[in-house]
Amino acid sequence: MSIRVAVCYGLPEDTAAFDQHYSEVHVPLARAVPGLIDFTWGTLDSLDDSSPPYYAIASLYFEDEASLQIGLASPEMKAAGKDLRNFASGGVTMFTQHERSVLQP
C-alpha cells in the first residue's frame, strides 16, 4: 500500500502556458520533494462528449504516512505549493488516497 497525493487542476486560462510552466518549472520543484517514490501527471479527456471536471491531474506517491508527512513539511513541498499561483489559474483541488493494488501482490 502507498499513499497518493492527487492534485487536480481546473481548466487554466491558457493551456499552452500551463503545460509549459508545469513541465519546465513545476515538475522539477515537485520531483525534489523528499520521500517521493513516484510522480505522474497528465491531461484529461472525457469518455463521452462532456468536458472532464479537471484539465490535468498529478499523482505524487509516498511509501507510507511517515514519508508523506516528511514530504508535506519539507521546504521543497512549500516551494512547489508557492509555485501554484504562477500557473494554476483554473484552481486546484488536492486530496490523499491510500492505494491498494488489486492486480499486483
CATH assignment of the domain containing 95 = 3.30.70.100
More reliable by pLDDT, 24 or 105:
24
Neighbouring CB atoms inside 10 A of 14's CB total 12
In this structure, are residues 22 and 31 in contact, taking their beta carbons and an 8 Å threshold?
A: no
Identify whether 104 is part of a domain.
no
Domain span including residue 11? 2-99
Q: Tell me if 75 is assigned to some domain.
A: yes
Asked, for residue 15, whether it belongs to a domain, the answer is yes
State the total domains in the chain. Answer: 1
Question: pLDDT at position 91, please?
Answer: 97
pLDDT band at 1 (very low <50, low <70, confident <90, very high): confident
Nearest to 58 by CA among 16, 24, 96, 85: 96
User: CA 51 to CA 60: how far, in whole Å?
Assistant: 24
- Predicted TM-score (pTM) of the model is 0.92
pLDDT above 70 coverage of the chain, percent: 100
**What are the strands, taking DSSP E only, across 1-105?**
2-9, 36-43, 56-62, 92-99
Spatial distance between the Cα atoms of 14 and 61, rounded to a whole number of angstroms: 28
Residue 36 within a domain: yes
16 within a domain of the structure (yes/no): yes
Residue range 30-74, pLDDT digits in tens: 999 999 999 999 999 999 999 999 999 999 999 999 999 999 999
